[in-house]
Amino acid sequence: MTPRLGLVLPLFSGNVERVMGAAREAESLGYDGVFAFDHFFPPGAAPDRPSLEAFTTLAAVGAVTSRVAVGTLVVRAQLRPPGLLAKMAAGLDDITGGRMILAIGTGDPIDEPEHRAFGIPTLSKAERRVHLAEVVAAVKALFRGDAWEGGDQVPPIAGPLLPPPVRPGGPPVWIGAQADPVVRLAGAVADGWNGWGASPGEFARKATLVAEEAGAAGREVESTWAGIALVGEDEAETERLATARRERGMSTDDIWIGSAARFAEHVHALGDAGATWVIVVAAGPTDRAALIARSAHPA
């Protein structure tokens, strides 16, 4: 199986025209979807670094594209009340004619400065996992036209969402997760799981956990991959790009690095491991999105 190909848009540029241009280019290059990080400034950076807001940006992207899916990768569940999150996602689904994908996660410790800078409360690790499960359940209930009865973390939400999402049941909801318990949660309650940066072998192991949980609940849940990719035309250029990245003080840990030919093999391996999507942050020169598209989808 050849996975669908997605591109993470450069919201950290703070440049609206650059992001719109990247979305239009992605559609013309044959990408299947474009995705937005959900940060108020780049994680690990100072608060005076720019980042466009995910939902407003995706609404604009939806207006300048006609085919690609538009998605979050991933919404931090604590940033918005679940009723508001459902309303925004349903609105994007309507605006784009049914192209929205809502991927949600708990967030990581590196996100704490954003919460402090903008006065947003935080939950403990254990609370975040309960909260995530309830947010997903509440959002999906509202998408169906039902009320959410309330839980330990998310209070009752009567709704309804009007207009409803253009698709019955609303946009697909993915959970972004690394830890096995949260991966299993995705299989139990969501429509998809997104694994960040996993090797094909580790991805296959976690995709099996998703499938087991989904099967036990009589459901089908897709597994998707995302990560940073530094792709060179050949091995020599790959080494030059990696060396230049290190000389600028940028990490080469936890990113995929290799030639275009090896990236094609990587995509194939992820497909064999069960990935229905491969979503990339295109590191390196400005033409990498095109090179990645040619590598992943030679046709």
Tell me what pLDDT residue 160 has.
95
Tell me what pLDDT residue 35 has.
98
Tell me what pLDDT residue 163 has.
94
Tell me what pLDDT residue 299 has.
59
Tell me what pLDDT residue 1 has.
75
CA-CA-CA-CA torsion sign (243, 248, 254, 259): negative
Q: How far is 83 from 80, CA to CA, in rounded Å?
A: 8
Task: Render 159-213 in DSSP notation, one character per residue.
Answer: ---SSPPSSTT-S-EEEE--SHHHHHHHHHH-SEEEEES--HHHHHHHHHHHHHH
Per-residue pLDDT of the chain (299 residues; tens, 9 = 90+): 799 999 999 999 999 999 999 999 999 999 999 999 999 988 888 899 999 999 999 999 999 999 999 999 999 999 999 999 999 999 999 999 999 999 999 988 889 989 998 899 899 888 999 999 999 999 999 999 999 999 999 999 999 999 999 999 999 999 999 999 999 999 999 999 999 999 999 999 999 999 999 999 899 999 999 999 999 999 999 999 999 999 998 888 889 999 999 999 999 999 999 999 999 999 999 999 999 999 987 65
Helix (H, G, I), strand (E, B) or coil at 278: strand
Tell me what pLDDT residue 252 has.
83
DSSP 148: B
Tell me what pLDDT residue 42 has.
87
Helix (H, G, I), strand (E, B) or coil at 257: strand
pTM, rounded to two decimals: 0.96
Residues 193, 177 contacting (CB under 8 angstroms)? yes
Residue type, 45: A
Tell me what pLDDT residue 298 has.
67
Tell me what pLDDT residue 110 has.
87
Q: Within 10 A of 247 (CB to CB), how many other CB atoms are there?
A: 8
Name the burial class of residue 205, with classes exposed (0-12), middle (13-18) and buried (19+) by CB atoms within 10 angstroms of its CB: middle
